[in-house]
Chain A
Amino acid sequence: MVDHAGALADRVWRRYDRKQQLIRYGVLLVTVMVVYWAIRDIDIFWPWVWDAPNQISSLGARMWPPDPSRLAAITNALLETVHIATLATLLTIFIALPVSYIAAQNTTPNRACLWLGRFILVASRSVNTIIWALLFVAIFGPGVLAGILAIMFRSIGFIGKLMGEAIEEIDRRPVEAMEATGASKAKVIAYAVVPQVMPAFFAIVILRWDINIRESTVLGLVGAGGIGVILQGAIDTFAWPTVATILIAIVVLVLIGEAVTGLLRRKVL
């Protein structure tokens, strides 16, 4: 990518002076070297690479035609997937809101809380849902609880971070007005902060719900419930036509999810 971009850039931005030109060549050279290193050093058995198109198309051929015989089980698993995403999103709200409150610079009670809040957000965001799921499957055993917890723990960081930013961006003047009436901190929040962050809150939760639906389709691959469990089972038993049905079902689910979130955005916001 970068060498291509660099080559184009070289042509388009000819008016750059010598130093910038040099920097550009330098970046290009480094990129080429890194790519060269990556290709030479990576642990790939090259004949497989040349054979890959065959393998992929033969896998595709084995999937065709999709086998709808297990459609009922698949539909149930899809519902379970949606439940995991929805319940996890709902439950996340109760944790993410207090965290965003202490992680926003203008509402945090003190510096210790601010750093605690930021730590929670960073920790939650830098661990992927699947890795959270791995951890919770190890703790609570395979099943939907691990899935819900995994989605929750990843969503806390997402919702908390964006809500924290929304809180930091509020108009300070109504807050000042509420303070001037002699309102306590809790009342100031209820009247001056909550109404201002409401639209952001709905938008963020809807967005995360959409993401969570996609994420919860893979939870089952590590045993944390949902459609992934059936997918893994079908792959393990080489039931490729069933796999194809599941894949189509997932695309349909994701598209429905997108349609629903689009509808919600228009209705609520």
Chain B
Amino acid sequence: MTRPDQATAPRTWRKPPFIANPVLRYGLWLVVIVYLVWAFGSLPFNWARISEGLPRAARIFGGGFPPSFERSGLLITGFKESFQIAILATLMGVALSIPFAVMAAKNVAPKPIYLLGRAVIIISRSFHPVIVAILFVAAVGFGPLAGILTLTIYSIGFVGKLLAEEIEEIDWGQVEAMKAAGAGYLATLIYAVFPQILPRQVGLSMYQLDSNLRASAVVGIVGAGGIGGTLMNAFGRYDYDFAFAILLMIIAVILVSEGISGWVRKKIW
């Protein structure tokens, strides 16, 4: 079946490269290699200290097992506070996210207000909650208040962004109908906009409650209350068996709350 007139020279085939331009292709490789060398070279590794790591790890894990639930009182207090922080922060965050979402939705807010709303949401999303927490701890002192304020900001950023997108996608006909009926701005919002975003809002709130619970375990590390503080203290006192008990409880609580939040959201949608 080989046709002699066609098979003149041995034909070759190579896989066409992902990037056609050879300069760009090899240039990219070079950039990657230079970057890796630069990054590894410039990072300050303290090898002497790192080399002690393995025996230390053995000591930490050895000290951590079995995890000790002896001071379950502290554990329960910590978790209770984390729950309270998460609940109150979700309440405030979700309530406040509504005005910010309205501000940050292009179709219902005037341009200057829109820019302001967007800026608030972008800034509150740029900062990791732990950074916000450390600032609030500095401003209002150690304790759950800083945690609540932190997670409120965190919730505004997340829920506000998604809600604003939701508002931008609403059915505009209902808004026109309200305007045609002579409704004012606020009445239009309440009757034509909010009902449309409500189901989404409830789902987001559940998600945010779960997410705040996770975050509340973390902001405690910088002193904003909750189980994170308890964990940090346990680590600080080399109390590894208690620390591991806390870690296990955090994992368990997170898994349970993820399950519940997923179940509720499925029910609602």
Contacts and interface: CB of A to CB of B under 8 A. Distances in A.
B39 A143 contact: no
Contact of B88 (A8, A38, A43, A59): A38
Given A55-B140, A59-B135, A214-B128, A141 B198 contact: no
A131 interface: yes
B42 A79 contact: yes
Interface of B is mostly: helix
A267 to B, nearest CB: 10
A56 B150 CA distance: 12
Contacts of B202: 2, 5, 9
Interface in A41-95: 41-45, 48-49, 51-52, 55-56, 58-59, 79-80, 83-84, 86-87
A9 B141 CA distance: 38
A215 B127 CA distance: 9
A252 B138 CA distance: 23
A21 interface: no
A48 B42 contact: no
Contact of A218 (B94, B131, B231): B131
A162 B40 CA distance: 28
A220 to B, nearest CB: 10
Contact of A1 (B50, B52, B123, B205): B205
Contacts of A29: none
B140 A141 contact: no
B39 to A, nearest CB: 4
A231 B95 CA distance: 31
Given A8-B198, A126-B254, A145-B50, A39 B139 contact: no
A245 B251 CA distance: 36
Contacts of A5: 94, 198, 201-202, 205
Instruction: Indicate the size class of the contact surface on chain B.
Output: 35 or more
A59 B214 CA distance: 28
Interface string B131-153: 10011101111011100010000
A151 B179 CA distance: 51
A128 B231 CA distance: 13
A122 interface: yes
B81 A42 contact: yes
B195 A126 contact: no
Nearest to A140: B53
Interface string B44-88: 111001101100110010000000000000000000110111011
14 contacts: A4-B95, A35-B87, A38-B83, A42-B144, A45-B143, A87-B36, A122-B255, A126-B251, A128-B218, A144-B45, A214-B128, A225-B44, A235-B135, A254-B126
List the 8 closest A-B pairs by CB distance, nearest first.
Answer: A1-B94, A141-B49, A38-B84, A218-B130, A83-B39, A140-B53, A254-B126, A59-B139
Interface of B: 35-36, 39-40, 42-46, 49-50, 52-53, 56-57, 60, 80-81, 83-85, 87-88, 90-91, 93-95, 122-123, 126-128, 130-131, 134-136, 138-141, 143-145, 149, 194-195, 198, 201-202, 205, 214, 217-218, 221-222, 225, 231-232, 235, 247, 250-251, 254-255
Interface of A: 1-5, 8-9, 12, 34-35, 38-39, 41-45, 48-49, 51-52, 55-56, 58-59, 79-80, 83-84, 86-87, 122-123, 126-128, 130-131, 134-135, 138-141, 143-145, 214-215, 217-218, 221-222, 225, 228, 231-232, 235, 243, 247, 250-251, 254-255
